[in-house]
Chains A and B, each alone.
Chain A
Amino acid sequence: MNRSAKLRYACGWILLCLSLSARAELTIEITGAGEHQIPIAVVPFAGEENSAQSLSSVISADLLRTGLFKLVDAAGKAPHQPNEVHYADWSGADALAIGSVTGQADGRLKVQFRLLDAVRQTELIGQAVSAKDSQLRAIAHRIADMIFEKLTGARGVFSTRIAYVNRQAGNYRLVVADSDGFGEQTVLSSVEPIMSPAWSPDGGHLAYVSFEKRHAVVYVQSLLTGQRLVLANFEGSNSAPAWAPDGRQLAVVLTRDGSSQIYLIRPDGSGLRRISFSGAIDTEPAFSPDGQFLLFTSDRGGSPQIYQVSADGKGRAERLTFETGNNFSPRYNPDGKSFTCTHFVNGHFYIAVQDFAAQQMQMLTAGGWEKRPSFAPNGKLILFANEAQGRGILSTVSSDGRVKQKMFPQGGDIREPIWGPFSNSSFN
Chain B
Amino acid sequence: MKKMALSILMLGLLSACASEKAKEPPPQNTAAPAAEATQPVAPKAAEPVADNSANNGEPSSRSVYYPLDVSVVQSADRALVQEHAKYLSAHPGVKVRLEGNCDERGSNEYNLALGQRRADGVKKLLRAGGVQARQIETVSNGEEKPKLSCHEEKCWQENRRTDLVYK
Contact = CB atoms under 8 A, between A and B. Distances in A.
Given A193-B144, A211-B141, A237 B107 contact: no
24 contacts: A193-B144, A193-B145, A195-B144, A216-B140, A216-B142, A236-B139, A239-B109, A239-B113, A240-B112, A255-B140, A260-B113, A260-B117, A281-B110, A281-B113, A281-B114, A302-B1, A303-B69, A326-B4, A326-B106, A328-B107, A328-B110, A371-B108, A372-B108, A415-B108
A259 interface: yes
A302 B137 CA distance: 27
Q: Among B109, B116, B140, B142, which residue has the most Cβ atoms of chain A within 10 A?
A: B109
Interface in A245-274: 253, 255, 258-260
A99 interface: no
Interface in A320-339: 326, 328-329
Contacts of A196: 108-109
Given A235-B137, A297-B110, 9 more contacts: A196-B109, A211-B141, A215-B140, A216-B112, A253-B113, A258-B120, A259-B113, A260-B112, A347-B8
Interface in B1-41: 1, 4, 8
A303 B141 CA distance: 21
A342 interface: yes
Contacts, number: 99
A255 B113 contact: yes
B144 A240 contact: no
B109 A284 contact: yes
A153 to B, nearest CB: 34
A297 B141 contact: no
Contacts of A216: 112, 139-140, 142
B140 A283 contact: no
Q: Enumerate the 7 nearest inter-chain pairs by beta-carbon distance, A residue then B residue, closest first.
A: A328-B107, A260-B113, A193-B144, A215-B139, A281-B113, A329-B107, A237-B116
Contacts of A180: none
B117 A195 contact: no
A66 to B, nearest CB: 27
Interface in B94-120: 105-110, 112-117, 120
B109 A283 contact: yes
B112 A372 contact: no
A209 B107 CA distance: 14
